[in-house]
Structure 1
């Protein structure tokens, strides 16, 4: 393997790496410009541009003083990997690198460059550069592999690409530092040739991975928009009905109960008239947040339409559902008490109807009975919870 790589024209391989890096930069810039809202894409594009500039500096080592060209290339590579790491942190939802960490990394990189020039050692420059790339590649791999979920294949594959790259560069840096490797770029040993060939493959693979990760992120956002209410963030009616069929089938198989809560904010038209639609939206959002604090993670909560909301409670009987409904009602009243006391002639409250599915029913039948119980709660004075089977007191 090493022999075949060494017999290949090294200049041709270097040109291929330069072309791949340039095309990668163009691709990442276009990806960022097309989807500017995705965190991290701008950092990826910037890192790729810095990598291209580093190759340009290396190519100009016979045009400008060699120490200057190599120092600039080393700095550009260092900054590019810092930018790449920060971009991946942003992409996976972690905090950006803090200013102290950035300063430490930059000062350390500058220190390596200064030491390379003071020592006038190509060996030190090559080994420190390889170990720097290995370190930051390992950090990127850790970010991706720890954040990737089972279905995020592109992120997992990209993480392993960076992990392999980190291992290869570590071996290269250690081999150069111990004097077991040749550092002449125009007459490389087998490991250096392998590393150069790997970098060609890695550049194309990493860029493809970025495109696929961005595509997965966009698909996830589209799925979220299709299944969630844009105002409150709760599930929408379409998504609720999909979940409801699955939950009903599961409860039938396991012989478990399932209860439905139908909720409607009281006096919502008056709230809109008093506060305006923007104020009404705030009431809706606060109801959702207060309700979700009461519900379990396995419960399904949605905005059913207007000021109506619905919750599916798997494994919960109607009597238990009544207790949950009372907690939701109390939580919302407490949430809005301070806001509405002096502003409205009535408190912001919610009425709730509860029903439990029967083995012969479909989900529409259960919802219809919960809706009937809700109207009973409205007729009995609002701000109360009612079971379809009987009238519950406040």
Structure 2
């Protein structure tokens, strides 16, 4: 409920005709107010829908546990970077990483400890990457990093930095400190013309396996 007040400095100014005009004015103002309320409601509803859409998109592209890209999303980024590299005749660098002895963590300390390790590893690696690098959980304890505009030396340095960021400090879990290290395989493609994403992932995975076989907590690289 609201009030609309009309006044005049002169006495007995308003007549019956004015009353009708004032009622029309009040009616128009009431309509404007109602439209304003409806507009505000529509705006708030639209904001809620946009937020819900953003949340759904985030859930569809991000790993629930670690908060980084999931396998589908990081693979899409790899495909996009590969297409870009082909268009502009640029190199492409990919790093495949794996948490060493992760099964032992799950078997000895439990799956909650394993979850804590994965979340901490993901945060530490993401924090030492550039804005235009991409990281995703590829599966289980395996992670994939797609490096944008990185030469060979930068790719190797990045892999070493990731290794040091993870292994430089134990992961806290309850009253325990869990020592964690990672192994990495770096695939370096200087010419991407005949390359597809499966091939470069296969090479990176092969180098990762080599790093595991050669003692873990190390990095192996290969030029394609």
Q: TM class, shorter-chain normalised? A: 0.7 to 0.9
Cα contact 2:188–2:223 (8 A) shared by 1: no
SS in 2 for 1:264: strand
SS in 2 for 1:381: coil
Q: 1-side partners of 2:59 and 2:169: how far apart?
A: 27
Q: In the alignment, is residue 333 of structure 1 matched against residue 136 of structure 2?
A: no
Structure 1, gaps ≥5 residues long: 1-54, 59-69, 71-121, 124-175
* Structure 1 residue 219: Cα displacement: 1.4
Q: Look up the match of 2:182.
A: 350
Q: 1-side partners of 2:172 and 2:50: how far apart?
A: 43
Q: 1-side partners of 2:90 and 2:32: how far apart?
A: 56
Tell me the TM-score normalized by structure 1. 0.49
Q: In the alignment, is residue 386 of structure 1 matched against residue 220 of structure 2?
A: yes
Q: Look up the match of 2:145.
A: 311
The C-alpha deviation readout for 1:87-109, integer Å capped at 9, x for no partner, is xxxxxxxxxxxxxxxxxxxxxxx
Q: 2-side partners of 1:337 and 1:246: how far apart?
A: 34
Cα contact 2:95–2:204 (8 A) shared by 1: yes
SS in 2 for 1:388: strand
Q: 1-side partners of 2:106 and 2:57: how far apart?
A: 30
Q: 2-side partners of 1:373 and 1:311: how far apart?
A: 14
Rate the CA distance shift 1:316–1:262 in 2: closer, same or farther, 3 A: same
For these two proteins, the number of residue pairs brought into alignment is 210
Tell me the TM-score normalized by structure 2. 0.83
Q: Look up the match of 1:321.
A: 155
Structure 2, gaps ≥5 residues long: 10-18
Q: 2-side partners of 1:337 and 1:232: how far apart?
A: 14
SS in 2 for 1:253: helix
Cα contact 1:257–1:314 (8 A) shared by 2: no
* Structure 1 residue 208: Cα displacement: 2.0
Cα contact 2:93–2:155 (8 A) shared by 1: yes
Correspondences of 1:133-282 after superposition (within 5 Å): 187=22, 190=25, 194-282=28-116
Cα contact 1:332–1:349 (8 A) shared by 2: yes
Cα contact 2:170–2:177 (8 A) shared by 1: no
Cα contact 1:237–1:302 (8 A) shared by 2: yes
* Structure 1 residue 303: Cα displacement: 0.1
Cα contact 2:211–2:219 (8 A) shared by 1: yes
Query: Which has the higher relative contact order, 1 or 2, with Cα contacts under 8 A spaced 6 or more apart?
Result: 2
The C-alpha deviation readout for 1:158-180, integer Å capped at 9, x for no partner, is xxxxxxxxxxxxxxxxxx9xx9x
Structure with the bigger percentage of strand: 2
Q: Look up the match of 1:362.
A: 196
